[in-house]
A and B are shown apart, each in its own frame.
Chain A
Amino acid sequence: MNTYKYWEEIEKVIDEALLLEEEFRESFIKKKCGQNPDLLTEALEYFSFIKKAEDHNFLQSDSLNTSNLFHDLDFSSLTDIKNNVIGRAIGPYQITKLIGEGGMGSVYLGERNDGEFQQHVAIKFLRGGFFSSYMRKRFKNEKNILSRLNHPNITRLLDGGITDDGTPFLIMEYVNGEPIDEYCFKNKLRIDDRLHLFLQIAGAIQYAHSKLIIHRDLKPENIFVTKEGRIKVMDFGIAKFLSPDSEDSSPIQTREGQYVASFNFAAPEQLFSNESTTTTDVYGLGALLYLLLTGQYPLRLNGYSLSEIESVILHTEPKKPGKITDSTIGDIPADLEAIIMKALRKEPDQRYSSVEMMADDIKRYQNELPVDARHATFGYRSGKFIRRHRSKIAAAVLLIAGLSGIIIYYTTQITAERNAAQHEAERAGAINQFLIDVFETADPEVNRGEQITANEMLNRGVEMAAGLTSQPELQIDMLTVAGEIYLSLGDYDSAFDVTEKALTQAQKLYGEEHVVVAGILNSMGTVLRNNGDYTAAKQYILEALEQRRSLLGNEHPETAASLNNLGVTLRLLGEYEQAQSLYEDALEIRRSVLGNQHPDVAKSLNSLGALFSILGKYEQAHKAHEEALEIRRSALGNLHSDVALSLGNLGIVFSNLGDNEQALVMFEEALVIQQSILGNLHPRVAESLNNLGVFLVSLEEYEQAIEAHKEALEIRREVFGNRHPNIASSLNNLGAALRFAGHLPEARSTLEKAVELQRELLGEEHPSFAISLTSLAFTLRQKGDYEKAHIMFEEALIIQLSALGNLHPRVATLLILFGATLRELGEYEQAFSMYEEALHIRRTLLGDQHPSVAVVLNSLGILLIRLEEYEQAIEAHKEALEIRREVFGDRHPSFALSLNNLGAALRFAGHLREARSTLEKTVELRRELLGEEHPSFAISLTSLATTLQLKGDYKTAEKLLHQALDIQQATLPKDHQRKAVTKSLLGASLAARGQYSEAENLLKEGYQTLSSQLNPEDIGVQQAKNRLEEFYREHGQP
């Protein structure tokens, strides 16, 4: 390979030379090697090869593709045609003269003269050559496609073929006219006349799109105006088979110089892919309109290299047409500017989705209606507003800004719903203007730095809406939007008021049955549901559903939305079977109407998955949430808030399935995504933290759970202020975590706050109020509070029964907690009937094999021991154990719990050997699952130790109890009951082994702690007392 003597020196010099501009390289080499003539000769020779390789594009990536090869193989080069073609006959046509030359080939005038009449055609010889049968076939196909185009503004393809020497040609209608830009400028046309011509072009392109043909190469050279002033668009889709091999299929990647003009009209996506769509032509039309109105190309590309041109097309925004001062036709109206800029967006999906929509907008401008292109302004302005004031403005206002998405979505919906109505554009424009007005009152720059809360702002908007009596349609829209926002702000009463007003007005204006009325009925249902009035909500949504079915049909996305909404309501009413079938119907409609990959399908799957989780069908839940996640990932990208929601839902499923590791990964990933997209101060971040907190409670990581809930609470306070239902729900969850952690006084005060807030915000008949009340009642188990707790439980029960009926899972939950409290009060008979009722409800609603049934059986088992019905207790625990084995498998914390309790029941029943082996299994399982520092592991140790004490093995018992106590000292708060029990037990063991003084201390301490916290009737207190008394009986009272 290398024949150079001085290679090392040469390489060094060449390396340096290559860093220089081309023109300096040779002199640099000469200077460096001047001392050694042999070296110089060799270096210059090598350099000459480098240059030749460069000049001949040797091994350049496109030299492997066909273009170079065409040259070698194509025996009919263009020069040959040029020289020979004049005078030749192509079919019935005589070629008379060359009328044009371009990158794609040469165009000749052909004449047909059969004596009677004369006909002119344009004959286009295509460059490139067709050397394979495959290419010929394709050419024929394209020809067939083009011949389908039959439109007054499109040049007709008359014929086409391949000459004997292999050159393909097309025979086209001959257009006697001039390119559109020249025509406009020469005749100094007014804007309106230019638009008139432009709409003809758009009509032609729209027609072609309806035939599935994309032009791809719109530019003035392809658009002529005839003598009669008619537009003729030519060269449809030609670019596509001009150079169809490998990388050259897009019109702009051909040899330098020839196609540079096309860059001015090329959409960004054309640079890198062949995937032209109708929106590619929208871009081309935008660029054309830009040129026609300003006399300039949208982007300045002169004097740039190819790669620089690419970068400009990809990244540089065109100068606003209105800013171009040397415009030949005066000022460009803002609406037209907006239209052009929308067509020229870099992202295809941000442009007009069809040529028709672009043309419509221009017509709207001509009729002096607000144009669609300016709708974006609201989002744009609110976006800018947020950026400007992120640090300055009140968080509440930030929330409203965050809601602009809802507003834009909603107003688009409104417009979509009323396509039939007159002047819809006018109204949509008015809505936006109205919102901007409301919005800008919150802008400190407009508002002189005063802070304004979201509520004040909204109230102002509603007041302003009240003044819109002359525009009832706009008024209805505004009230409806205001209702949505009040709902997000948690002001359910105001939401109800304005939505009801909107409904009344709408019924007056449109009649009882109308798509708009149906929409508001649906919203009304949502508002009522949030207000806790599920039954009324159901009625409204049913009505909305009926109307939508009859007005829009069964297979309509709006109908699906109502089905889903009804499903949510019925789920809350505990009517799971019906909810499931509604969700499934909605899902089916969405799949068939919107396709399997639509985000709304994910929404349905999400609802369904959540329901499956409630029903304990975790595998199905898992499947639904997985699919939703996949859809969201592919439709929305990995970093999207909805993706995080799906991850959170999967986390819940994994947690239910006992896969805590996987669950934790999901919850944390969800949180990270939400934080990185939404910042730290967003309701969805709070929701993620809340999920994490609930999960951590189930992991018994109480302190961490408390942290998570506190953080969620802080965010919600920042965002929603102190008085929002979400604050109450955070307080409720925080309170529960505090209770689990044993911080009883703090738990109590937190839950009291939650209850008070809900009483105020939701009223005393709201099921959510009942939930907090229940939670508080369950916490009031300290001495002296039982009576209060009892009253609260009863109050909550009455609320739930009247709101939800007696066959509802929440009623069951309440009965279990009530029962547990009664159990501690020693009211065993009452507790027993509560448990039985709860068991009945859950078996009926959820089936016999549901983990929630196992929970009741477990509580029942514990109670039966108090009732001294040991064999029944064993039965209950055995059934619970089997359910958990079935649902979770035998390596799950819940399974271990059942095993533990079964062991305890066996011990009480006197089956000591069986009890011991069961409890030993429990200890092992918990050691594996939870580790040796877990409080539940400690419980198993004490349970086993008690059994061993009964068997007389005080020595081993003592060892186990010491270990348990160590764990509990490290994990539980100071005066925790469990610790007191362990101390008392340890005292008994020590006494048996003769260590009396230490034994006495522990026995005393255990009993005192328990009796100070619990009712004297409590079995724990009783047992501790018995142990202490037995000690005194044997060793004498001090």
Chain B
Amino acid sequence: MKNQKDITAILVEFGNGSQKAYQMLFDSVYDELKRIASKQLSKERENHTFSRTDLVHEAFLNMIDIHRIDWKNRAQFYGVAAICMKRLLIDYARKKLTKKRGGDIIKKTFIDELIPGTENAKEIVKLDEALQKLREFDNRMAEVVDYRYFGGLTIEQTSEVLNVSRNTVKRDWAKARGLLYKELKDL
């Protein structure tokens, strides 16, 4: 993993609009989230469970030199981390479904706590497909779902990441859920 200073610098660069910085940031954050999430549930950590929000937060603290970062950059980090989180969950859900069919026994990791059952893994994969369609129709709505649902970001954080008002996020969130509900549940 790159050290805190590097990541912080990359984040600032990304804040100035560098696409390359985004890719570097994404890769690092993804790795870090995966590293934390894949930690075996060891004996001494048995009592410690992670929510998605916890994970993103821990990744942030691990990776960013908080003394050298302002609030805007922090929001950007959360945005990137949310997308990473989504990627991670979906990758994992797909893997879990495949493994299930193969009958493998996978060791328990923190991710298992985030996706507790096979049922849920299926749902996540289905949701991702529906979200793909939504994205083609209305990108921002899909982004709101990414951040809110997968990243565990609050309305407030989402509005900071997307740089839109909180009311806009609230509306997009409601509308997107309506559309997805129709797509997934209205059988």
Count of residues in A whose CB is under 8 Å from the partner chain: 38
Q: Is A50 a contact partner of B177 (Cβ separation < 8 A)?
A: yes
Could you say which of B18-26, B95-103, B115-123 contacts chain A? B115-123
A11-B175, A53-B177, A633-B67 as given contacts; A61 in contact with B148, CB under 8 Å: yes
- Quote the shortest CB–CB distance from A904 to chain B (angstroms): 45
- Quote the shortest CB–CB distance from B85 to chain A (angstroms): 11
The answer, among B114, B177, B182, for a CB contact under 8 Å with A64, is B114
A180 to B186, CA, bound (A): 51
* B80-123 interface code vs A (CB 8 A; 1 in, 0 out): 00000000000000000000000000001000111111011000
Contacts of B145 in A (CB 8 A): 59
Interface residues of B in 116-143 (CB under 8 A from A): 116-117, 119-120, 124, 127, 130, 133-134, 136-137
Contacts of A245 in B (CB 8 A): 49, 113, 116
A247 to B48, CA, bound (A): 11
A706 to B127, CA, bound (A): 69
Interface residues of A in 45-67 (CB under 8 A from B): 46-47, 49-50, 52-54, 56, 58-59, 61, 64-66
A58-B185, A61-B148, A246-B51 as given contacts; A141 in contact with B46, CB under 8 Å: yes
* B153-187 interface code vs A (CB 8 A; 1 in, 0 out): 00000000000000100110011011111110110
List the count of A-B residue pairs having beta carbons below 8 Å apart: 108
Cβ of A18 within 8 Å of any chain B Cβ, yes or no, is yes
Q: Is B49 a contact partner of A246 (Cβ separation < 8 A)?
A: yes
Cβ of B62 within 8 Å of any chain A Cβ, yes or no, is no
Specify the chain A residue showing the minimal Cβ separation from B135: A1
Cβ of A138 within 8 Å of any chain B Cβ, yes or no, is yes
Contacts of B16 in A (CB 8 A): none
Q: Is B136 a contact partner of A53 (Cβ separation < 8 A)?
A: no
Q: Is A53 a contact partner of B51 (Cβ separation < 8 A)?
A: no
* A877-888 interface code vs B (CB 8 A; 1 in, 0 out): 000000000000
Contacts of B49 in A (CB 8 A): 244-246, 249, 274
- Quote the shortest CB–CB distance from A598 to chain B (angstroms): 20
Cβ of B41 within 8 Å of any chain A Cβ, yes or no, is yes
Interface residues of A in 4-56 (CB under 8 A from B): 11, 14-15, 18-19, 46-47, 49-50, 52-54, 56
The answer, among B46, B51, B177, for a CB contact under 8 Å with A138, is B46
Contacts of A368 in B (CB 8 A): none
The answer, among A49, A138, A240, for a CB contact under 8 Å with B179, is A49
Contacts of A64 in B (CB 8 A): 52, 114-115, 120, 124, 149
Cβ of B53 within 8 Å of any chain A Cβ, yes or no, is yes
Contacts of A50 in B (CB 8 A): 174-175, 177-178, 181
Cβ of B3 within 8 Å of any chain A Cβ, yes or no, is no
Cβ of A89 within 8 Å of any chain B Cβ, yes or no, is no
Q: Is A247 a contact partner of B179 (Cβ separation < 8 A)?
A: no
- Quote the shortest CB–CB distance from B67 to chain A (angstroms): 6
Contacts of B177 in A (CB 8 A): 50, 53-54, 58-59
Q: Is A49 a contact partner of B119 (Cβ separation < 8 A)?
A: no
Contacts of A52 in B (CB 8 A): 178, 181, 185
Specify the chain A residue showing the minimal Cβ separation from B108: A134
A249 to B51, CA, bound (A): 10
A14 to B171, CA, bound (A): 9
A1 to B137, CA, bound (A): 7
Cβ of B79 within 8 Å of any chain A Cβ, yes or no, is no
Contacts of B148 in A (CB 8 A): 59, 61
Cβ of B47 within 8 Å of any chain A Cβ, yes or no, is yes
* B38-58 interface code vs A (CB 8 A; 1 in, 0 out): 000100001111111100000
Q: Is B51 a contact partner of A65 (Cβ separation < 8 A)?
A: yes
Q: Is A246 a contact partner of B113 (Cβ separation < 8 A)?
A: yes
Interface residues of A in 268-321 (CB under 8 A from B): 274
The answer, among A14, A49, A73, for a CB contact under 8 Å with B117, is A73
The winner among B50, B52, B133 for most chain A CB atoms within 10 A is: B52
Q: Is A53 a contact partner of B181 (Cβ separation < 8 A)?
A: yes
Cβ of A421 within 8 Å of any chain B Cβ, yes or no, is no
Contacts of A84 in B (CB 8 A): none
- Quote the shortest CB–CB distance from B9 to chain A (angstroms): 17
Contacts of A19 in B (CB 8 A): 167, 171
The answer, among A58, A247, A638, for a CB contact under 8 Å with B180, is A58
A244-B49, A246-B49 as given contacts; A1 in contact with B134, CB under 8 Å: yes
Cβ of A2 within 8 Å of any chain B Cβ, yes or no, is yes
A73 to B119, CA, bound (A): 9
Q: Is B174 a contact partner of A69 (Cβ separation < 8 A)?
A: no
The winner among B108, B113, B119, B167 for most chain A CB atoms within 10 A is: B113
A66 to B117, CA, bound (A): 8
Contacts of B67 in A (CB 8 A): 633, 638
The answer, among A49, A56, A59, A240, for a CB contact under 8 Å with B149, is A59
Contacts of A47 in B (CB 8 A): 178
The answer, among A14, A61, A240, for a CB contact under 8 Å with B175, is A14
Specify the chain A residue showing the minimal Cβ separation from B170: A18
Cβ of A114 within 8 Å of any chain B Cβ, yes or no, is no
A708 to B2, CA, bound (A): 41
Cβ of A72 within 8 Å of any chain B Cβ, yes or no, is yes
The answer, among B120, B130, B174, for a CB contact under 8 Å with A54, is B174
Specify the chain B residue showing the minimal Cβ separation from A142: B47
Q: Is B136 a contact partner of A1 (Cβ separation < 8 A)?
A: yes
A240 to B179, CA, bound (A): 38
Interface residues of A in 220-254 (CB under 8 A from B): 240, 244-247, 249
Q: Is B53 a contact partner of A247 (Cβ separation < 8 A)?
A: yes
Interface residues of A in 411-442 (CB under 8 A from B): none
Contacts of A59 in B (CB 8 A): 127, 145, 148-149, 177, 180
Specify the chain A residue showing the minimal Cβ separation from B167: A19
Contacts of A58 in B (CB 8 A): 177, 180-181, 185
Contacts of B127 in A (CB 8 A): 59
The winner among A53, A244, A247 for most chain B CB atoms within 10 A is: A53
Q: Is B179 a contact partner of A2 (Cβ separation < 8 A)?
A: yes
* A886-905 interface code vs B (CB 8 A; 1 in, 0 out): 00000000000000000000
Contacts of A633 in B (CB 8 A): 67
- Quote the shortest CB–CB distance from A277 to chain B (angstroms): 13
- Quote the shortest CB–CB distance from A509 to chain B (angstroms): 50
A491 to B115, CA, bound (A): 69
Contacts of A65 in B (CB 8 A): 51, 114, 116
Contacts of B180 in A (CB 8 A): 53, 58-59
- Quote the shortest CB–CB distance from A678 to chain B (angstroms): 20
Q: Is B108 a contact partner of A49 (Cβ separation < 8 A)?
A: no
Contacts of A56 in B (CB 8 A): 181, 185
Specify the chain A residue showing the minimal Cβ separation from B50: A246
The winner among B41, B177, B183, B185 for most chain A CB atoms within 10 A is: B177
* A742-756 interface code vs B (CB 8 A; 1 in, 0 out): 000000000000000
A56 to B133, CA, bound (A): 22
Q: Is A69 a contact partner of B175 (Cβ separation < 8 A)?
A: no
- Quote the shortest CB–CB distance from A945 to chain B (angstroms): 47
Specify the chain A residue showing the minimal Cβ separation from B124: A64
A394 to B179, CA, bound (A): 68
A990 to B127, CA, bound (A): 91
A11 to B174, CA, bound (A): 11
Known: A11-B175, A64-B52, A245-B113. 20 other contacts (CB 8 A): A1-B137, A15-B171, A19-B167, A46-B182, A50-B174, A50-B181, A54-B174, A56-B181, A61-B52, A61-B53, A64-B124, A65-B116, A73-B117, A134-B41, A240-B47, A245-B116, A246-B50, A246-B51, A249-B49, A274-B48
10 contacts between A and B (CB under 8 A): A1-B130, A14-B175, A15-B175, A18-B170, A50-B181, A54-B174, A244-B49, A245-B116, A274-B48, A638-B67
What is the interface of chain B, defined by CB distance below 8 A to chain A? 41, 46-53, 67, 108, 112-117, 119-120, 124, 127, 130, 133-134, 136-137, 145, 148-149, 152, 167, 170-171, 174-175, 177-183, 185-186
- Nearest 9 CB-CB pairings of A with B: A50-B178, A53-B177, A53-B181, A49-B178, A1-B133, A247-B51, A1-B137, A246-B51, A49-B182
